[in-house]
């Protein structure tokens, strides 16, 4: 108890120190924050009313975002099948699944937007770097999910197929896969939803999709158009969530 009390005290102290440090070392001039009030109001004013003439751009951008999410998810599935098997405790030796799991943890740790920036540098502007970035980033999670799905199945039918003389891959196909298929479907749809949501902003770094228009309109001071696109993004996120809730109901 005393230790916990000390722990709580130390934590509070640490948080206070972090806040003080941030204030002391950042150029936050309170006077600037005060005078920013009218400027922010002006900025918001220029966003209103949102310009509805950008409907065509919104459609084009959303379609491209959807394509990035679909192809990115496809790429992640293709990568996650072999990596998921190699990350499974029940399919390979500890040395193999431990190193693959570490690799996947590293992949998960790199933010999507960072991968996208690197990919734009590597292959140029457009949806292609977005697709590659989504596929790479999503694999970190999806391969882990697939490995857990493999490890979560009932062992008895696998032993039965082993007894019948079936090799490891044949057992995967006929004893493990039928059991894990619904889990894989659910996980893949979940990851697709995340991919769609995360790829909305990829255009900001030039990796294709609807985010491109937000960036373009903000840079050219067309805030009313930027507002329309932002509203479209919000609507899409809500729609994705609603569809996901409906799908989840089907898979549980």
**List of residues contacting another protein (CB under 8 A):** 154, 156-157, 159-167, 169-170, 173-175, 178-179, 181-182
Which three-class secondary structure state does DSSP give residue 146? helix
Question: CA 14, 15, 16: angle at the middle one, nearest 5?
Answer: 90
CB of 196 to another protein, least distance (A): 29
CA dist 138 to 70, 167, 219, 249, Å?
12, 30, 30, 23
| Nearest to another protein of 81, 166 (CB atom) | 166
| Nearest to another protein of 33, 164 (CB atom) | 164
Q: Residue 26 carries which DSSP code?
A: S
| Nearest to another protein of 25, 163 (CB atom) | 163
CA–CA distance, 215 with 123 (Å, rounded to integer): 20
CB of 97 to another protein, least distance (A): 20
CA–CA distance, 29 with 178 (Å, rounded to integer): 62
CA–CA distance, 241 with 190 (Å, rounded to integer): 10
CA–CA distance, 163 with 245 (Å, rounded to integer): 42
CB of 67 to another protein, least distance (A): 32
CB of 251 to another protein, least distance (A): 14
Question: To which residue do tokens 């009218």 refer?
Answer: 38
CB of 90 to another protein, least distance (A): 15
| Closest C-alpha among 130, 239, 160, 139 to residue 193 | 239
| Nearest to another protein of 31, 163 (CB atom) | 163
CB of 173 to another protein, least distance (A): 6
What are φ and ψ of residue 230, in 5° steps? Answer: -60, -45
| Nearest to another protein of 40, 164 (CB atom) | 164
| Nearest to another protein of 141, 153 (CB atom) | 153
CB of 178 to another protein, least distance (A): 5
| Nearest to another protein of 123, 159 (CB atom) | 159
Residues 55, 63: contact at Cβ < 8 Å?
no
Cis link prior to 49 (omega < 30° from 0)? yes
């Amino acid at each position: 108890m005393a230790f916990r009390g000390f722990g709580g005290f130390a934590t509070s102290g640490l948080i206070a120190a972090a806040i003080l440090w941030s204030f002391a070392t950042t150029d936050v001039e309170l006077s600037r924050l005060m005078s920013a009030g009218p400027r922010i109001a002006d900025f918001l004013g220029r966003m209103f009313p949102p310009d509805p003439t950008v409907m065509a751009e919104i459609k084009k951008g959303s379609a491209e975002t959807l394509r990035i999410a679909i192809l990115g998810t496809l790429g992640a599935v293709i990568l996650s099948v072999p990596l998921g098997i190699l990350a499974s405790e029940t399919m390979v030796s500890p040395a193999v699944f431990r190193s693959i799991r570490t690799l996947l943890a590293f992949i998960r740790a790199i933010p999507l937007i960072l991968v996208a920036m690197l990919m734009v540098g590597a292959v140029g502007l457009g949806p292609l770097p977005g697709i590659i970035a989504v596929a790479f980033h999503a694999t970190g999670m999806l391969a882990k999910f697939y490995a857990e799905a493999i490890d979560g199945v009932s062992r008895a039918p696998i032993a039965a197929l082993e007894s019948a003389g079936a090799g490891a891959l044949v057992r995967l196909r006929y004893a493990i896969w039928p059991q894990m298929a619904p889990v894989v479907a659910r996980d893949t749809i979940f990851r697709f939803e995340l991919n769609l949501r995360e790829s909305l902003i990829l255009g900001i770094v030039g990796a294709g999709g609807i985010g491109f228009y937000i960036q373009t309109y903000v840079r050219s001071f067309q805030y009313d158009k930027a507002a329309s696109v932002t509203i479209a993004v919000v609507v899409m996120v809500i729609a994705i969530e609603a569809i996901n809730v409906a799908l989840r109901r089907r898979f549980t």
